[in-house]
Amino acid sequence: MDTNENEDAYKSEPKVAIVTGASRGIGHNTALSLARRGVDVIITYHMNRAEADLTVDAVVALGRKAVAFRLDTGDVSAFDCFVEQIGKALTQTWQRSSFDYLVNNAGTALIAPFAATSEADLDQLFNIHFKGVFFLTQKLLPFLADGGRIVNISSGLTRFTFPGLSAYASVKGAVEILTRYLAKELGPRGITVNTVAPGPTKTDIGGGANSDNPDQDNFIGSVTALGRMGVPDDIGPMIASLLSDENRWVTGQRIEVSGGTFI
């Protein structure tokens, strides 16, 4: 097989994405949106295996392959074992040694006034949202194909503010800066790196503060150009689109997906 035939064979292979925190919410929707575009998915979950299995089943029902692994993205000491699992899964399920897309989505939230935020609170957010993203991406880099894509999930809260979210927004701000540096450093490998910053979205993150609150729904709708709070189906398809080859020339960007909140 000549070089062109090798390249054509690679292009014809299904793409494989890793989506962290994909048992529910935006991660779950991203996994399904990727599957609808013909992408196979490796997902991670923190505690709820049953919900992760439902995501896997939904991806398989769309005709794609999927596997799930437990991962605490705030525990860097677990990353070597996870990366070993990824290597085995790629070999056994896809007969390849690399994957194409990484979506650093896993996270939690903290709603607390600045004056009441403890060191432990801040450490937990930092470990999950920044340190975890930093070192998990670093560990996975040898497996990420040249020409691949990375999307880091931030928040609209790095642009606009709500009381009680200073710690969460601050660590998300660090992720946005990391994104730009990664875009520069990984550019020679043809890897794009972008930030997606959702606005207020109905998920159960942070105990479900945004999931069922009519007063909050009405307020967010009143300050959003499109007149309502977001839902995961507003975010997942956009992430899947950003990962596609149509957006190969987009890198180092922060893209807010908020329906025009506070514009």
User: Could you say which DSSP state residue 51 is in?
Assistant: H
Are 208 and 111 in contact, with CB atoms under 8 Å apart? no
Q: CA-based Rg of the chain, rounded to a whole angstrom?
A: 18
For residue 22, give Cα distances in angstroms to 27, 49, 53, 118, 249.
Answer: 4, 11, 10, 28, 26
Q: Rounded CA gap, 33 and 181, in Å?
A: 27
Q: Token pair for residue 250? A: 């987009």
Q: Token pair for residue 161? A: 């503010």
Q: Which of 10, 45, 101, 168 is catalytic?
A: 168
Q: For the purposes of burial, counting CB atoms within 10 Å of the CB of 78, is it exposed (0-12), middle (13-18) or buried (19 or more)?
A: middle
Are 152 and 133 in contact, with CB atoms under 8 Å apart? yes
According to DSSP, the residues that pair with 43 across neighbouring strands are: 19, 68
What strands lie across the sheet with 192-198, from one edge to the other? 66-70, 40-45, 16-19, 99-104, 144-153, 192-198, 254-257
| 10 a catalytic residue | no
Q: For the purposes of burial, counting CB atoms within 10 Å of the CB of 212, is it exposed (0-12), middle (13-18) or buried (19 or more)?
A: exposed
Helix ranges restricted to H, the chain: 3-12, 25-36, 49-61, 79-94, 119-126, 132-140, 166-186, 205-208, 214-222, 232-243
> Annotated active-site positions, please?
168
